[in-house]
Structure 1
Amino acid sequence: MASNLIDISEAAHRLGVTMITLRRWDASGKLKPVRTFGNHRRYRSEDIEAIVNSVEVVQSVKKNASIYCRVSTKKQQESGNLLRQRERLVQYCIDKQYTVVNVYEEVASGLNDHRRELMKMFRALSDTDLIVVENEDRLARFGYSYLKEFAKSFNVEIEAVEQGVKLQPNEEMVNDLVSLVTCFSARLYGARGGRKLKQTIVKTLETLEQERGESCENNHESDSSQPNE
Structure 2
Amino acid sequence: MNSDFVPIGQASKILGVSIQTLRNWEKTGKLLPDFISVGRTRRYSRRRFLSIAGLTNSETKEDQKVTIAYARVSTNEQKEDLSQQIELLELFC
Q: Give the ranges of 4+ consecutive aligned residues of structure 1 lying more than 2 Å apart after TM superposition.
A: none
Larger radius of gyration: 1
Pairs within 5 Å for 1:10-159: 10-33=10-33, 34-53=35-54
Mapped partners of 2:39, 2:47: distance in 1: 23
Q: Secondary structure at the match of 1:2?
A: coil
Q: Give the aligned CA root-mean-square deviation in angstroms.
A: 1.7
Q: Secondary structure at the match of 2:38?
A: coil
- Structure number with higher relative contact order (C-alpha < 8 Å, ≥ 6 residues apart): 2
Mapped partners of 1:30, 1:7: distance in 2: 17
Q: From the superposition, tell whether residues 41 and 22 of structure 1 become closer, same or farther in structure 2 (CA, over 3 Å).
A: same
Q: From the superposition, tell whether residues 38 and 2 of structure 1 become closer, same or farther in structure 2 (CA, over 3 Å).
A: farther
Match of 1:203 in 2: none
C-alpha offsets along residues 47-85 of structure 1, whole Å, 9 cap, x if unaligned? Answer: 12112217xxxxxxxxxxxxxxxxxxxxxxxxxxxxxxx
C-alpha offsets along residues 145-188 of structure 1, whole Å, 9 cap, x if unaligned? Answer: xxxxxxxxxxxxxxxxxxxxxxxxxxxxxxxxxxxxxxxxxxxx
TM-score by length of 2: 0.52
TM-score by length of 1: 0.22
Offset at residue 37 of structure 1 (A): 3.2
Pairs within 5 Å for 1:161-172: none
Q: Which amino acid in the other structure matches residue 49 of structure 2?
A: I
Mapped partners of 1:35, 1:2: distance in 2: 15
Offset at residue 4 of structure 1 (A): 1.2
Offset at residue 23 of structure 1 (A): 0.4
Gaps of at least 5 residues in structure 1 are 55-229
